[in-house]
Structure formats: C-alpha cells, structure tokens
Homo-oligomer: A and B are copies of this chain.
C-alpha cells in the first residue's frame, strides 16, 4: 500500500463532467489499495472571473481580501470532487488550506509554506477516506487566508507529499510527460521516462512550462519523488522526476529547451574599470527589468563590450536606460536586437562528458546558424541565435544528440 498525492489543475477540473472523470480515476488508485490525497485547483476560468470582480471595485485590491476572494475557487472544486467521489461510493472528505492547517507566512498573494499539520488528513487516510485538499491556499498564524501565488497548487501537492512522507507526488497536466523538446517544433521529440530534478529546473526555467519551478525546487529540497502524467489519457507512466543520487546512469543530454521571448542589448566601447558591470546593470535592475544571460568579453584597448538579454516586452524600456548609461560612462554605442531566440541543451551527463559544447556548436554551424551569445552552467549550455533559425537549430541538435532514441 502506497501513499500517493495527486494534483489536478484547473483544466482537468474545468467542468462538472471533468470533475467526475477525476473522481473515477482517483477511485481506481484508491481501489488498488493506495492511500490517496488529491490536491485540486479552481475550475479553469474561475480565478480570472473572481479577479475580474475585484477589478471592478479597485484597480489595486487589498491583498488580504483578494486572497479571501480567490480561494473560494478551489473551495468549490474540493466540495464538488468530494461529492463526486462519495457518489461513486468512495468515502472522501474535503479540506481548505486553513482546515488542513497549511501554515504560511503572511505575504498575501505569494505566501510561503512554513508548516503543515497532517493530523486530520492522516486520520482520514487511516479511516480509508480519500482526502481532497484545496491547492494554492493556506492560512497565517493569525487565521488570515493566504495564497501561494498563481500555479501554487503544484507547490501545495509537493508540500503535502513532503509532510505525509508520500511515496509519490503525481502532477496531472495536459501533457503526458516531459519531452526531449517541444513536439510542435520537432515531431521526433520523445517522452522521457525519467529526468533529474536539476534538469527539470533548467527545463522549466527555460520555458518548458510543465511544472511550476517552485514546486520542483520544493520537491528537490524534501526528496519528494515527482511524476508528471496526463490527466486526459489514462494508462501512461508519465515522466518521473528523480534525484541524480538514485544511481541511474544518466543520459548525456536529456532535452532541448528554447525561448523566443527574449531580446538582446549590447553596450560597446565601455571604458573598462572595476564596477563597470554594476554601473551598467544597476539602473536596469532598479527599473525592475529582469536580466537573463550576461556576457562580457575581455577588454580591448582599455574598453569592453557588454551584452545581456531581457524579456522582449521590456526591450524598449531597457534600451532607453542603457542609452542614458552609455552617455554617463562614455561608451561608444548601444545596439539592440529583439529578433533573437535562445536554445539550451540540458543534461546532467554533460558534467562528466567533455566535448558536448563543441558537438553542439558543430551541429549548429553545419546548418549555417551563427551563434551570437553563449552561456553555460554545469548542466546546461545556452546559445542565442537569430530568431528565424530557432526551429532549424532545435531539430539539428535533437538529431545530433540522438534524442529520438531511447
């Protein structure tokens, strides 16, 4: 008998019929002898409807009250799912975040979980009941209702799994697992049976939006085995997100992530003095513009070139700031390009395998793709290329590293 925490998102519970489908699936796991805790989101569209009501009243609603408002979304779902389970003859009981007592700090709208009281939930599990928990919400030590921020239901599921020392935390989504890359770009993309937490973090932050990053970090921190499954197709095994320590012989490369939502800015001929990086990026950060890749080359004739990427919608704003900085610093010029794409190779295997980078650059050059920027971490190599080469580049790399083969 295993203890499983399952999480179903807003689309999976978007209608009464889908809630009934989820109930049938949960019952199967329960009938197979498992203890099951189900974490659910609000029915799709509901959270936006509620936020819309608040928006009619205030351009800037009080965060405490916004949390009271939006948490009704999941409360509706837990009640309906518990009813649907009972209707199938499967004893079930629902809990809001406050009822479980998912204790958080009081940062309304982006609260962090401090503690979970598992007493009541465990008693219900031991009594043979399925426990249905509202995702995304908690309560602070003064009894105020809080939310974990959008998409926080994944975090609730992982935190419940950690608190209950669950055997597995299953995240049901609209995809049937994590792929080597986006199948819409490379039809030969293959579903991975396993991926490490670190790879998943790199994949997620690079735009493979299967799981909320914080929940993956959380799962890693508390060693919660996480599995991504499809909520619409039954029978699949999904993708298990594991710890490298499992001793699995990791593939060199697990996948290829990409992002076409960035823009590139370069300031050229900056007099190279200590503190130049801070002088350039300080004003950008002050304006709340997030910077992703940063590249600085060695200086030449006492001046240096400095390049970084930002989210594309903030390109104009960042460029203006950079031009003012260039004047102040006496730089030669500012150039920008918002038609770029970032392609990243991710894999824990590259730690111990030399030559991955050169193999990557070779594959791209064989297709005539010019590399504009390069940045690397222990388990990832990212390059920036002209936007028009994105699909070609992804497919070339997928082929070069044989990702379509097991």
Interface residues of chain A, those whose CB is within 8 Å of chain B, are: 16, 19-20, 50, 53-54, 56-58, 61-62, 64-66, 68-69, 71-72, 75-76, 78-80, 82-84, 86-87, 93-94, 96, 98-99, 120, 143-145
Min C-beta distance of A146 to chain B, whole Å = 12
Q: Which residues of B contact A56 (CB under 8 A)?
A: 16
Q: Which residues of B contact A53 (CB under 8 A)?
A: 16, 76, 80
Min C-beta distance of A121 to chain B, whole Å = 12
A72 to B73, CA, bound (A): 8
Q: Assess whether A57 is in contact with B94, with CB atoms less than 8 Å apart.
A: no
Min C-beta distance of A25 to chain B, whole Å = 15
A189 to B45, CA, bound (A): 49
Q: Assess whether B75 is in contact with A68, with CB atoms less than 8 Å apart.
A: yes
Q: Assess whether A83 is in contact with B98, with CB atoms less than 8 Å apart.
A: no
Q: Assess whether A65 is in contact with B82, with CB atoms less than 8 Å apart.
A: yes
Tally of this chain's copies: 2
Q: CB < 8 Å: which of B16, B96, B144, B145 contacts A68?
A: B96
A16 to B94, CA, bound (A): 30
A80 to B55, CA, bound (A): 10
Q: Assess whether A80 is in contact with B87, with CB atoms less than 8 Å apart.
A: no
What residue in chain B is nearest A91 (Cβ atoms)? B62
Min C-beta distance of A286 to chain B, whole Å = 29
Instruction: Provide 8 A-B residue pairs closer than 8 Å at the C-beta atoms, listed in order of the A residue.
Output: A20-B57, A58-B83, A64-B94, A66-B83, A68-B78, A68-B94, A69-B75, A99-B144
Q: Which 8 A-B pairs have the closest CB atoms?
A: A69-B79, A72-B72, A68-B79, A16-B56, A65-B79, A65-B82, A58-B87, A61-B83
Q: Assess whether A54 is in contact with B83, with CB atoms less than 8 Å apart.
A: yes
What residue in chain B is nearest A99 (Cβ atoms)? B143
Given contacts A72-B72, A120-B143, contact A66 B54 (CB under 8 A): no
Given contacts A62-B82, A66-B79, A79-B65, contact A57 B19 (CB under 8 A): yes
Given contacts A20-B57, A98-B98, contact A80 B76 (CB under 8 A): no
A71 to B68, CA, bound (A): 12
Q: Assess whether A80 is in contact with B96, with CB atoms less than 8 Å apart.
A: no
Interface centre among A20, A56, A65, A69 (most CB of B within 10 A): A65
Min C-beta distance of A143 to chain B, whole Å = 6
What residue in chain B is nearest A78 (Cβ atoms)? B68
Q: Which residues of B contact A87 (CB under 8 A)?
A: 57-58
Q: CB < 8 Å: which of B58, B75, B98, B120 contacts A72?
A: B75
What residue in chain B is nearest A68 (Cβ atoms)? B79
A120 to B144, CA, bound (A): 11
Q: Which residues of B contact A61 (CB under 8 A)?
A: 83, 86
Q: Which residues of B contact A86 (CB under 8 A)?
A: 58, 61-62, 65
Q: Assess whether B76 is in contact with A94, with CB atoms less than 8 Å apart.
A: no
Since A54-B79, A57-B80, A72-B75 are in contact, a sample of 13 more A-B pairs with Cβ atoms closer than 8 Å, ordered by chain A residue number, is: A16-B57, A53-B76, A58-B86, A64-B93, A65-B82, A65-B83, A68-B78, A68-B82, A69-B75, A69-B83, A99-B143, A99-B145, A120-B143
Min C-beta distance of A57 to chain B, whole Å = 5
Min C-beta distance of A175 to chain B, whole Å = 27
A313 to B82, CA, bound (A): 34
